[in-house]
C-alpha cells in the first residue's frame, strides 16, 4: 500500500545543494543543480541509468568531490570538512548500497556488529547484543542472526544491509537502487521497509531509483533527473502531469510497456 503523504516542515533542511556541478572528462553529469531535502521526508531522485543519480548521493556522503557548488548536509558544509569531521558526519548517514555490501565471511550478527564495534568503543556485550537484535527486528529478520550472507535470499541480504546502517541510528538514509534485481513481491517488501524505517527512526531519506513503483510507494516528493538537471519536482502525480516527452516516455516505459 502506498504511504500516506505527511506534512513536511519546510523550515528544517537536512540537505541543501546549490549550483552543484560534476563532470567526468567531457561527460557533464550534473549541471548547476539545486536541491533541498527537508528533515523527515523521503525524497526520491528518479532517472534512467547513467543520469548521475548515484554520483549525486556519493557527493552528498562526501565520497566524491564536486567540481563546483555547495553541499550542506545536516548543517555541515561538506567541502569545508577535514577528514576527521567528514568521518563524524558519515556516522550520521546510513548508506544502503545496491549490492548490500555485506562481508561474505561474517555471519549476520558479525556484519551488524562490525560498524558498531568500530565506532563505539565503550559498549558492553549486552548493549551490542541489544542493538543487533533491535536492528534485525526493525527489518523482520532476527531469525537470520547466525547465518552467512550466502545463505540468504537477495531480498534478505538487502534487508540486512539496511539493518547494518540502522544500527548506527543515522539521521539521513541514502538508498542506492533499493529494488534493483529483486522480484516484484520482494520489491514491495523493500518499499514497505523504507517507509517503516522512516516511521520508526524518523529519518530523512534520499532514494535513488529508476523504478517508478518504488518512487510512487516511498516518495513524499519526486525529483526527476534528466540531462544533468532536475526536469520535474513534486508529488508523483505532479511530476507526471506534464507534456514533456522525456518524462512521459519514462512513465510509459515503466507502466505501459
| Confidence at residue 44, expressed as pLDDT on a 0 to 100 scale | 97
Long-range contacts of 196-202 (CB under 8 A, 24+ apart): 196/138, 197/138, 197/162, 197/166, 197/173, 198/40, 198/42, 200/138, 201/138, 201/166, 201/169, 201/170, 202/40
Q: Distance between CA 15 and CA 172 in Å, rounded?
A: 9
| Confidence at residue 91, expressed as pLDDT on a 0 to 100 scale | 92
Q: Distance between CA 80 and CA 76 in Å, rounded?
A: 8
| Confidence at residue 250, expressed as pLDDT on a 0 to 100 scale | 75
Centroid of chain to Cα 155: 16
| Confidence at residue 6, expressed as pLDDT on a 0 to 100 scale | 58
Phi, psi of 199 (to 5 degrees): -70, -45
For the chain, the residue count is 257
| Confidence at residue 256, expressed as pLDDT on a 0 to 100 scale | 53
CB 241 within 8 A of CB 234: no
One digit per residue, the tens of pLDDT, for the chain of length 257 reads 555 555 566 779 999 999 999 999 999 999 999 999 999 999 999 988 888 999 999 999 999 999 999 999 999 999 999 999 999 999 999 998 877 789 999 999 999 999 999 888 889 999 999 999 999 999 999 999 999 999 999 899 999 999 999 999 999 999 999 998 889 999 999 999 999 999 999 999 999 998 999 999 999 999 999 989 999 999 999 999 998 888 887 777 666 55
CB 20 within 8 A of CB 30: yes
| Confidence at residue 3, expressed as pLDDT on a 0 to 100 scale | 56
In what order do the strands lie in the sheet containing 204-209? Answer: 93-96, 172-176, 204-209, 42-46, 221-226, 229-234
Amino acid at each position: 500500500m502506498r504511504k500516506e503523504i505527511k506534512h513536511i516542515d519546510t523550515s528544517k533542511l537536512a540537505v541543501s545543494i546549490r549550483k552543484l556541478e560534476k563532470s567526468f572528462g567531457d561527460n557533464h553529469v550534473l549541471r548547476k543543480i539545486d536541491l533541498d531535502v527537508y528533515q523527515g521526508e523521503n525524497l526520491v531522485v528518479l532517472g534512467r541509468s547513467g543520469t548521475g543519480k548515484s554520483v549525486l548521493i556519493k557527493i552528498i556522503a562526501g565520497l566524491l568531490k564536486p567540481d563546483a557548488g555547495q553541499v550542506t548536509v545536516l548543517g555541515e558544509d561538506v567541502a569545508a570538512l577535514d577528514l576527521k569531521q567528514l568521518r563524524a558526519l558519515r556516522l550520521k548517514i546510513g548508506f544502503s548500497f545496491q549490492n548490500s555490501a555485506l562481508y561474505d565471511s561474517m555471519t549476520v550478527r558479525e556484519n551488524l556488529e562490525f560498524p558498531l564495534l568500530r565506532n563505539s568503543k565503550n559498549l558492553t556485550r549486552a548493549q551490542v547484543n541489544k542493538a543487533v537484535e533491535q536492528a534485525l527486528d526493525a527489518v523482520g529478520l532476527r531469525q537470520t542472526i547466525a547465518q552467512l550472507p550466502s545463505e540468504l535470499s537477495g531480498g534478505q541480504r538487502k534487508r540486512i544491509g539496511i539493518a547494518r546502517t540502522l544500527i548506527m541510528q543515522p539521521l539521513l538514509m541514502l538508498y542506492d537502487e533499493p529494488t534493483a534485481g529483486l522480484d516484484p513481491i520482494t520489491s514491495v517488501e523493500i518499499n514497505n521497509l523504507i517507509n517503516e524505517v522512516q516511521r520508526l527512526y524518523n529519518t530523512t531519506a534520499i532514494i535513488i531509483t529508476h523504478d517508478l513503483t518504488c518512487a510512487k510507494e516511498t516518495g513524499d516528493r519526486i525529483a526527476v533527473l534528466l540531462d544533468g538537471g532536475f526536469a520535474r519536482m513534486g508529488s508523483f502525480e505532479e511530476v507526471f502531469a506534464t507534456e514533456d516527452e522525456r518524462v512521459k516516455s519514462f512513465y510509459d516505459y515503466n507502466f505501459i510497456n
